[in-house]
Amino acid sequence: MPESNSNGPAARAAPPMTVPRFVDAKKRRQPLCVLTGYDHLWAGILDTAGIDAILVGDSLGMVVQGKPTTISVTLPQMIYHAEMVVRAVRRALVIVDLPFLSFHVSPQQALRNAGRILKRTGASAVKLEGGLNQAETIRTLTAADIPVMAHVGLKPQSVLKLGGYKIQRDAARLMADARAARDAGAFGIVLECIPVEMARAITAELDIPTIGIGAGPHCDGQVLVTQDLLGLTPEPVPSFVKRFADLRGVAQAAIAEYIAEVRARTYPDAAHSHT
Ligand code: KIV
């Protein structure tokens, strides 16, 4: 059985994270810590460790499904993963990505699909890639009281148009996207792969939190793919990723030891067998 999250040290210490509390963190100058989560086991670990928000990112298409991009990820897949995550979480805010083409057709399509995510999973917010080009959709969702996080800079769902995962440097465009998302009612904005000084300027300008990934240290918070920071994903990883552990190495060593012991018939030994 997994450990009980309600007994974890972080869960005891802090009240549940809500959207207003997430936004207030900026006023309190308290850095926001966000990581991706795709399943029950890892969501429980993230939550008890004290993470502020778990993003059920469509990066699961690459990390979990082994696809080259996030383009093929579907709404039912997002709902499937988000349900598992929400079931494990006691404190963190759970934010779920709207996948490619689940919100582009019209604001009404976005409203239906975002509503389906919140109703089916119990998550607290959705994220969508876009700023100025999605302002009407953000406005429609927030008018229905659906909290929306925007995502500007490098938008992985635009990889086919961009021709790769490239740093975005158009300062005027980035600022316009961030302002439009804020004006439309977004409660936060992911800034992905933009120059440090651009992230600093956007963060200074906006009264809602900026969450950086490959955007330097001046954002109000940071987000990473959990499996990247734990050293579970194989190389290469983006240059902004810091490996905080080598769990791939630890897992491979443990599995190699298991294989060796089974082949040597030293496992299971008496201590791990029934009499
Ligand atoms: O899909 C995702 O995981 C993301 C983050 C890495 C920001 O959008």
**Degrees, nearest 5: CA angle 165-59-255:** 110
Q: Are residues 183 and 266 in the same domain?
A: no
Residue in 72, 190, 194 to alter for ligand 1 test, most ligand atoms within 8 A of Cβ:
190
The number of distinct structural domains making up the chain is 2
Per-residue pLDDT of the chain (275 residues; tens, 9 = 90+): 333 444 455 555 689 999 999 999 999 999 999 999 999 999 999 999 999 999 999 999 999 999 999 999 999 999 999 999 999 999 999 999 999 999 999 999 999 999 999 999 999 999 999 999 999 999 999 999 999 999 999 999 999 999 999 999 999 999 999 999 999 999 999 999 999 999 999 999 999 999 999 999 999 999 999 999 999 999 999 999 999 999 999 999 999 999 999 999 999 999 999 99
Domain boundaries, position 259: 246-275
Q: Are residues 117 and 253 in the same domain?
A: no
Q: Which member of 3, 129, 192, 257 is catalytic?
A: 192
Residue in 65, 211, 223 to alter for ligand 1 test, most ligand atoms within 8 A of Cβ:
223
| DSSP letters for 31-93 | -EEEEE--SHHHHHHHHHHT-SEEEE-TTHHHHTT--SSSTT--HHHHHHHHHHHHHH-SSSE
- Cβ pair 202, 178 in contact under 8 A: yes
- Cβ pair 96, 105 in contact under 8 A: no
165: in domain: yes
Whether pTM > 0.85 for this model: the answer is yes
Q: 190 in ligand 1 pocket by Cβ < 6 Å?
A: yes
Please say if 192 is a catalytic residue: yes
Q: Residue 56: which CATH number? A: 3.20.20.60
Q: Are residues 230 and 262 in the same domain?
A: no
Closest-lying ligand 1 atom to the alpha carbon of residue 190 = 7
- Between the CA of 142 and the centroid of ligand 1 the distance, in Å, is 21
- Residue nearest atom 4 in ligand 1 by C-alpha distance: 57
Q: 58 in ligand 1 pocket by Cβ < 6 Å?
A: yes
Q: 51 in ligand 1 pocket by Cβ < 6 Å?
A: no
Q: Are residues 237 and 255 in the same domain?
A: no
3: in domain: no
